[in-house]
Amino acid sequence: MSLLLIALNAADAQAGAGFAQSFGSEFDVLVLTKGDVPAIGARQVFSVDQADLAPADAMATMVQGQLGNYTTIAAVSAMWSKDLLARVAGLVDAPMVTDVIAIPAPGQYLRPIVAGSLLATVEVDGAPVFLTIRPAGFAKPEERANGSTSSLGAPSNGVTVRTNKSASQGGRPDLTQAKVVVSGGRPLGDAATFERLIGGLADKLGGAAGATRAAVDSGIASNELQVGQTGKIVAPDLYIAAGISGSTQHMAGMKDSKIIVAINTDGDAAIFQIADYGLVMDLFEALPAIQSALD
């Protein structure tokens, strides 16, 4: 039994380290972009010499060349990892399980289904097994020295060429890595108000901004901010949900957050069922008041 943890960058390696340390064997880590790698106890660190992740088809061919004899290839659940690992699994005709939250026994994988309302235990045939994992299900990693480090050259071009790249989060931390996420729903009304109230509080707390699908579909927030079943899965230390009803699909993306604060005018809103702290209040009063208190 041996594990290769694939990480986008240093923060992603840190996010996957708890899973890797609990895996029950030594593990190596393949970091797909250059930068310092945190001390997570990897036997070998392979680091790809590229500033940005190349398109997934080029990366898949490169990762295929690194599979060696590993029995498990894992990465933290994210759009990029599901895209990349599914391609590599396809290339080597191997099984893949996404969004794993626990390994109850060797070869068994626990994962949420039906937007998180049920848990399924999955067994697969074939090797290696490709996994994407949700870090919140695993213990926090200990700081441990890594073994040897090797640098790998950037991959050759694939058939996909990236022609443009834009960042729209204004320097905020990545939504899936942030320790604090402030999310807003449909009542925010327009993009400027969302940015002032949700983005403003996120900045004061050093966090990321998130949104519901209703907010995204209404043009209030950009697509990459969507949290939920068809958006990003987050598990920050603090999740503030303002004007969010708490649909099953939204909660599927944030219910593993450590502390959930809900602000909603409707005391019966479903979000209060999973909230640690609930404020039955108009968000247009509550959010400016919280921002002022933090000044």
Ligand X SMILES: Cc1cc2nc3c(=O)[nH]c(=O)nc-3n(C[C@H](O)[C@H](O)[C@H](O)COP(=O)(O)OP(=O)(O)OC[C@H]3O[C@@H](n4cnc5c(N)ncnc54)[C@H](O)[C@@H]3O)c2cc1C
Return left, alpha or beta for 200; rule: phi > 0 is left, psi -120 to 50 is alpha, else beta.
alpha
Q: Which stretch binds ligand X (CB under 6 A): 30-38, 60-68, 159-167, 225-233?
A: 225-233
Nearer to ligand X, 45 or 188 (CB): 188
Please give the Cα distance from 40 to 289 (Å, whole number): 40
241 touches 260 (CB < 8 A)? yes
Amino acid at 22: S
Q: Does 77 bind ligand X (CB under 6 A)?
A: no
- The nearest distance, CB 172 to ligand X, in angstroms, is 19
Stretch that binds ligand X, among 45-53, 118-126, 133-141, 280-288 (CB under 6 A): 280-288
The whole-angstrom separation of Cα 154 and Cα 157 is 9
Q: Which structure tokens are listed for 94? A: 């191997």
Closest CA to 63 of 92, 36, 34, 93: 92
| Residue of the chain from 4, 32, 175, 214 that contacts ligand X (CB under 6 A) | 214
Q: How far apart are the two ends of the chain, measured CA to CA in Å?
A: 52
- Minimum distance from residue 261 beta carbon to ligand X (Å): 12
Told to check if 176 binds ligand X by CB under 6 A, we report no
Sign of CA dihedral 271, 275, 280, 284: negative
Per-position x/- string for 229-248, each x denoting binding to ligand X as judged by CB under 6 A, each - no binding: xxx-----------xxx-x-
Least separation in angstroms between residue 199's CB and ligand X is 16
Identify which of residues 213 and 255 has a Cβ nearer to ligand X in the complex: 213
Question: Residues 247 to 276: which contact ligand X by CB under 6 A?
Answer: 247, 249-250, 253, 263-266, 269
167-199 core/surface letters (b: 16 or more CB in 10 A; e: else): eebeebbbbbbbebbbbbbbbbeeeebbbebbb
Q: What is the CA radius of gyration of the chain?
A: 20
Q: What is the DSSP string of 228-279?
A: STTSB----SEEEEES----HHHHTTTTT-SEEEEEES-TT-GGGGT-SEEE
Q: According to the binding rule CB under 6 A, does residue 212 interact with ligand X? A: yes
- Report the residue number, 209 or 227, with the smaller CB distance to ligand X: 227
Q: Rounded to whole angstroms, how far apart are CA atoms 32 and 59?
A: 9
Taking the least distance from each CB to ligand X, the nearer of 89 and 214 is 214
In the complex, the smallest distance separating the C-beta of residue 142 from ligand X, rounded to whole angstroms, is 33
Q: Does 283 engage in binding with ligand X (CB under 6 A)?
A: yes
Stretch that binds ligand X, among 106-114, 131-139, 145-153, 185-193 (CB under 6 A): 185-193
- Rounded Cα–Cα distance for residues 100 and 108 (Å): 10
Q: Hey, CA dihedral for 198, 199, 205, 209, is it positive or negative?
A: positive
Taking the complex as a whole, how short is the minimal distance between the CB of residue 249 and ligand X, in angstroms?
Answer: 3
- Measured from the CB atom, the residue of 17 and 197 that comes closer to ligand X is 197
For residue 282, state whether it binds ligand X (rule: CB under 6 A): yes
How many residues bind ligand X (CB under 6 A)? The answer is: 28
Among 16, 155, 187, 207, binds ligand X (CB under 6 A): 187
Binding site for ligand X (CB under 6 A): 185-187, 212-215, 226-231, 243-245, 247, 249-250, 253, 263-266, 269, 282-284
